[in-house]
Copies of this chain bind each other. A is one copy, B any other.
């Protein structure tokens, strides 16, 4: 990346965005157009800092980078909010006090990212080495050599890097929106607070501590959460809720030592087959989770939420086409509908070796990581317990450690289950809230398109914690392109979305 950045020239800075909306939005567009090159360069510097929550050194570098941006941008009270647990990633905080303002907005994003497996990234990509491509790699996008011949940064270019969309884009868009406000002297009616979390992708295990410890500092009228993608149609969206999330790490065991599949095949249990049977018992052919009571706690949508949901345009056919999927998991239900239900997904599954390292053995264990998404009404620990009860119902003896010899003697089927402690519940803010319409109108002022209002997003954020510890309201305004490969290899952000995001955040900061 470094080489490319040095080749970046200030001359290549005309952005060809065609949308035109409120006068303020037009001014922000002009600002991002004129400063496209330094903006992209600065963003790539930010992206190049590794940011997995347990990487203490990387986290420190990220917080330093963000604090520097904030201080340079004229934000006051820049500081780290630390949890009571030592060593956990801090929140980067700052504020803008507006004379005579009685109300306060908090802008949230997170600067940490999902873990990466560099081997899975496309050739030429490296998770923390941001590279600009002329488009999506799968559509034939190619790396851009700087300075580009046309000396123009195209809005459809993409920056490939871990967290380019999730969620350094949020941090960057928020801070650059405030920069645009300062440069343009836009009027603020609300006090602003900035809150950048550092372990969202690890399940926000210490967010509660921070919210409790700094509850008076964090008083507000509304939190604006900048995380996640815009609608698959490309239209901007505002979400009034998120699904919750919880994990189960599941391991089943066979022989204590790996066995030759010839000398023991048919006799020793095969843990991969055991795991396959156990996992497949959790869902039926129609994609419904068969675990007892899995859907029991779900609180149905209100009539207003149902009406709002019905206005979300269908993208099912577009997405099937884009993703190469013929049959969806729950046939007959739309994407919008199924995201209003709890889900069970296998994030990863492993036993023995495949590919060149495969050998003729019966492995000793098989492991899967299960992701549970939750909706309003579900309790994350109760949901985990339902899965555990199901595992027991399949004849497994459930333990939280590798089995002892005594346990192996006693039980034919043994499952080690680690219930992730990183779970949290879903959250939904009422669509009837007075400030809701102001937020919707602010986003509308930035686009000629429909603004999509979602009663809830499919993704997860620990928003219930804000409700629980601060009694705060939250509304989510995502900015990333929907095809950003969030959480996976080849994560990227379209430059158009990054700059549109700055417009959206500016509009939200300046609501009356």
A343 interfacial contact with B, CB 8 Å: yes
User: CA separation between A369 and B272, bound complex, in Å?
Assistant: 11
In the bound complex, CA of A213 to CA of B321 (Å): 54
Complex alpha-carbon distance, A258 and B492, angstroms: 12
Number of copies: 2
Q: Which of B273, B347, B411, B460 sits near A359, CB closer than 8 Å?
A: B347
Say if the beta carbon of A352 comes within 8 Å of chain B: yes
Q: Does the CB pair B267–A330 fall under 8 Å?
A: yes
Q: How far is the CA of A256 from the CA of B352 in the complex (A)?
A: 25
Q: Does A362 contact B (CB under 8 A)?
A: yes
Rounded to whole angstroms, the CA-CA distance of A229 and B259 in the bound complex is 12
The stretch from A204-212, A274-282, A469-477 touching chain B is A274-282
Q: How far is the CA of A458 from the CA of B346 in the complex (A)?
A: 34
Q: Does A245 reach chain B (CB closer than 8 Å)? A: yes
A residues 303-351 touching B (CB-CB < 8 Å): 321-330, 333, 335, 338-339, 341, 343-351
Is A116's CB within 8 Å of the partner chain B?
yes
Q: Decide: B354 and A262 in contact? CB cutoff 8 A.
A: no
Q: What string of 1s and 0s marks CB contacts (under 8 Å) between A114-146 and chain B?
A: 111100100000000000000000100000000
Chain B residues in 8 Å Cβ range of A277: 276, 280
Q: Are B353 and A408 in contact (CB under 8 A)?
A: no
CA distance A354 to B2 in the complex (A): 32
Partner of A261, one of B330, B333, B345, B411: B345
Q: Is A354 a contact partner of B367 (Cβ separation < 8 A)?
A: yes
Q: Is the CB of A272 within 8 A of B279?
A: yes
Alpha-carbon distance A455/B361, docked complex (angstroms): 23
Interface residues on A, range: 35 or more
Q: Is the CB of B272 within 8 A of A339?
A: no
- Cβ of A117: which chain B residues have Cβ within 8 Å of it? 353, 357
Q: Give the contacting residue for A329; candidates B242, B267, B343, B357; CB below 8 A.
A: B267
Asked whether A360 and B245 contact (CB < 8 A) given A263-B457, A272-B368, the answer is yes
Q: Is the CB of B323 within 8 A of A266?
A: no
A410 touches B (CB below 8 Å): yes
- State in angstroms the CA–CA spacing of A273 and B344 once bound together: 10
**Alpha-carbon gap, A294 to B240, bound state (A):** 55
Q: Which of A185-228 contact B (CB under 8 A)?
A: 228
Interface string of A233-273 (1 = CB under 8 A from B): 00000000011010001000111111111111111111011
A-B contact pairs, 27 of them (CB 8 A): A115-B359, A228-B263, A253-B324, A254-B325, A258-B489, A259-B488, A263-B339, A267-B328, A268-B329, A269-B329, A270-B329, A272-B368, A275-B276, A276-B276, A280-B280, A324-B405, A325-B408, A326-B409, A346-B363, A347-B358, A347-B362, A348-B358, A349-B351, A350-B351, A350-B354, A354-B369, A361-B488
Other 16 A-B pairs with CB < 8 A, given A261-B343, A265-B458: A120-B353, A256-B324, A257-B485, A258-B489, A260-B458, A269-B327, A270-B345, A273-B282, A273-B283, A273-B345, A277-B280, A324-B403, A324-B405, A349-B351, A350-B354, A354-B367
